[in-house]
Chain A
Amino acid sequence: MSIQYKTISQLREMIDAKSISSQELVKETLKLAESLKELNCFVTMNKDEGIKKAIEVDGTNTSNSLLKGIPLAQKDLFCTEGLRTTCSSKILADFVPPYTATAVEKLENAGSITIGKTNMDEFAMGSSNETSFFGNVHNPWKKGYVPGGSSGGSAAAVAAGIIPAATGTDTGGSIRQPAAHCGITGIKPTYGRVSRWGMIAFASSLDQAGPLARSAEDCAILLNEMSGYDPKDTTCLNVENTNLLQSINQPIKGLKIGIVKEFNLGDLKAEVQIRFEESKKIYESLGAEFVEISLPSISASVPTYYSIAPAECSSNLSRFDGVRFGYRAKDTDDLNDLYIKSRSEGFGDEVKRRILIGTYALSAGYYDAYYKKAQQVRRLIKNDFEVAFRSIDLIMTPTSPGTAFAFGSKGVQNPVELYLEDLFTISSNLAGLPAISIPHGKVNGLPVGLQLIGNFLKEDLLLNAAHIFQQNSEFHLERPSMEEF
């Protein structure tokens, strides 16, 4: 029996019916991953330890977690004790952390099995997975096309049906955009919902971990386990964890959904507009109402983000200095030379670019005009959302302006071109709001995503709205042919 493309619920049934053991499942998954190696989804496999853990899990009857025995993959920026963690960077190519990230620990405590670490944009900086030291990841829907980024390896591995779900992180769209480009579901929770302990930081005030899966329901299963208070992360919220599966089937009649006037959807490609309009109709048929809303400062999102994120990253990445861990250049004259050579040889171009921009934005004379100004505008953006959510329940946008594109076709001459990929996604990071991307059809044979943004801590409503949509459509069930791989 093939395990490819199975959801968590399907695998759960198979395990519970004893038609497959966790050990067999993990071995099959590893075999599948090996046969689809060309996709380049994984940086490191956790073969021996994964199988060992599966045998252990098979031998225990105590846990009744939905994730017991289920194979998952972790984005390679979650620290995993004893298992190499690279951030897809040369500078961490040999780094084996002495501890495990809280989010991963929670998933593993629920009985899931980490089968490997997924490829990503270097230090999560990118929207196409083309900045990885370990090479591009192919989009399972079309060879030579990007899977999106930065959680591209996770998205491709789920879309190719190797694993039912994987972790990702989202700083400006890094879960939602690859989910959209790969035709799967991904949710970025409220900032503070999932502990950042052990998640290698890109931009501390924007980073948030979340799941990518084949359905909203599976996302809910993972998020239920991943989220929760963690005193080790003082930006982690101390709020009660609601069971996200409980309300997932609730009817959405009367749901008020906002359409953002300022996004000028009329400027998008006709096919993208058509998909969007059709999804609106589906929601209307389910009893939702659409309202036009205004987010007056929303056009500032991209410049705000590209001031704040690089500033925080320039500081966060200072610890990669070749002294206590990570790559150290050979033959250096003195300490400064060691820093400069190790960092220059260890980081890729996009990471360097962002460190330089951030250093500039924070430097004397520019701080007020760039960094502080951006944080002020950030408040304007957050205020806009606050006002909007007084009269609506959710906001709906396309996840991305277009579809996946060919390797090397965007941002090569001008990085800003690629930055505009994040137009619809980054405002929710700036405001700390939860947002989900669900597949809603294809344009020119490539999947496109629909984004729903919720108010603070409204993951339950987001998943509910996404699930009801998926109960009434079949976009999320479509699979790539995989003939090219």
Chain B
Amino acid sequence: MDQETVRTICYLARLEIDKDKAEKIENELEAIINLIGGLQAFDTENIEPLYSPLEQKAFKHEDIENSDNKKDEFLKNAAASNDDYFLVPRVVE
């Protein structure tokens, strides 16, 4: 895993790594990727992926409203809000 890949992955995940830890983390990631690489030894031709241990179908809910207005509780949990909105630094589109 080269530095460029690590940079891209960090950006996608919106994380940054301290410069002094960068090499250590790269090595750790490399070790984990090697561990996962062990998968390649297994023949999975024509094997359907198993995305959930429950091979069942989803329950569908009826289109009937059932919801409380918890606006105040939600806004209270936000680091920045006013009476009506969550606030973030201004975005320019």
In the complex, are the beta carbons of A324 and B78 less than 8 A apart? yes
Q: Does the CB pair A382–B50 fall under 8 Å?
A: yes
* Known A98-B74, A191-B54, A339-B14; contact A324-B86, beta-carbon cutoff 8 A: yes
Q: Which residues of B lie under 8 Å from residue A324 when comparing CB positions? A: 74, 77-78, 86
- Residues 244-287 (chain A) with a chain B CB within 8 angstroms: none
* Contacts A339-B14, A347-B15, A376-B47 given; does A382 touch B31 at CB 8 Å: no
Give the residue of B10, B53, B88 whose beta carbon is less than 8 angstroms from that of A323.
Answer: B88
Are B40 and A355 in contact, with the CB atoms below 8 A?
A: no
Q: Do A235 and B35 touch across chains, with their CB atoms under 8 A apart? A: no
CA distance A337 to B11 in the complex (A): 11
With A297-B42, A359-B13 known to touch, is A325 a contact of B78 (CB < 8 Å)? yes
Residues of B within 8 A of A307 (CB): 36, 39
Partner among A191, A336, A432 whose Cβ is within 8 Å of the Cβ of B14: A336
In the bound complex, CA of A297 to CA of B6 (Å) = 31
Q: Which residues does chain B contribute within 8 Å of A359, judged by CB atoms?
A: 9, 12-13
Residue of A nearest to B25 (CB): A353
Q: A382–B49 Cα gap in the complex (Å)?
A: 11
Tell me whether A161 is interfacial, beta carbon within 8 Å: no
Residues on A with beta carbons closer than 8 Å to the beta carbon of B25: 349, 352-353, 356
A356 and B15 form a contact (CB under 8 A): yes
Interface positions, chain A 91-147, Cβ under 8 Å from B, are 95-96, 98
Minimum C-beta distance from B7 to chain A (A): 11
Check A360 against B1 for contact (C-beta < 8 Å): yes
Residue of B nearest to A414 (CB): B31
Chain A, 281-306, contact with B by CB distance < 8 Å: what is the 0/1 string?
A: 00000000000000001011011101
A234 at the interface (CB under 8 A from B): yes
Residue from the list A336, A340, A360, A374 in contact with B33, Cβ < 8 A = A360
**Cα-based distance from A349 to B20 in the complex (angstroms):** 13
Complex interface: chain A residues within 8 A of B48 (CB) = 376, 379
The answer to whether the Cβ of A226 comes within 8 Å of any Cβ in the partner chain is no
Within 8 Å of chain B (Cβ to Cβ): is A344? yes
| Among listed A4-12, A56-64, A163-171, A365-373, interface-contacting one | A365-373
- Which among B51, B79, B89, B91 has the greatest number of chain A C-beta atoms within 10 A? B79
- Select which of B35, B38, B77 is within 8 A of A325 by beta carbon: B77
A169-226 interface with B by 8 A CB criterion: 191-192, 205
Inter-chain contact B88/A335, CB cutoff 8 Å: yes
Nearest residue (CB) in A for B48 is A379
| 8 Å CB interface, B30-46 against A | 31-33, 35-42, 44
Which of the residues A314, A327, A377 comes within 8 Å of B42, measured between beta carbons?
A: A377
Q: State the CA gap A21–B4 with chains docked (Å).
A: 63
CB-nearest residue of chain B to A325: B77
Within 8 A of A (CB), among B62-87: 70, 73-74, 77-80, 86
Knowing A98-B74, A322-B79, say if A306 contacts B54 (CB, 8 Å): no
Number of A interface residues in the complex (CB < 8 A): 71
- Across-interface contacts of A238 in B (CB, < 8 A): 59
Q: How far is the CA of A380 from the CA of B44 in the complex (A)?
A: 8
Q: Is A237 at the interface (CB under 8 A from chain B)?
A: yes
Chain B, residue nearest A96 (CB): B77
Given the interface pairs A234-B59, A335-B89, A347-B15, the reply to whether A380 lies near B42 with Cβ below 8 Å is: yes
Q: A98-B73, A302-B35 are in contact. Are A205 and B49 (CB under 8 A)?
A: no
From residue 307 to 327 of chain A, which have CB atoms closer than 8 A to chain B? 307, 314, 321-327
Taking a contact as CB atoms under 8 Å apart, the answer to whether B38 and A300 are in contact is yes
Residue pair A300, B42 in contact (C-beta under 8 Å) = yes
Are B13 and A333 in contact, with the CB atoms below 8 A? no
Which residues of chain A come closer than 8 Å to B77, judged between CB atoms? Answer: 95-96, 98, 324-326
User: Is B16 located at the chain interface by the 8 A CB criterion?
Assistant: yes
B19 surroundings in chain A (CB, below 8 A): none
Expressed in whole angstroms, the Cα–Cα distance for A305 and B32 within the complex equals: 11
Name the residue on A nearest B41 (C-beta): A300
Determine the chain A residues whose CB is within 8 A of the CB of B28 once the complex forms: 353, 414-415
Q: List chain A residues, Cβ under 8 A from B74.
A: 98, 324
| 25 pairs, CB–CB < 8 Å, chain A vs chain B | A95-B77, A231-B61, A235-B52, A299-B38, A300-B42, A303-B35, A303-B39, A321-B14, A322-B79, A323-B78, A324-B78, A326-B79, A335-B89, A338-B88, A353-B25, A357-B29, A359-B9, A359-B12, A361-B36, A363-B8, A370-B39, A377-B39, A377-B44, A380-B47, A414-B28
The list of the 3 closest CB pairs from A to B, nearest first, reads A432-B53, A375-B49, A328-B79
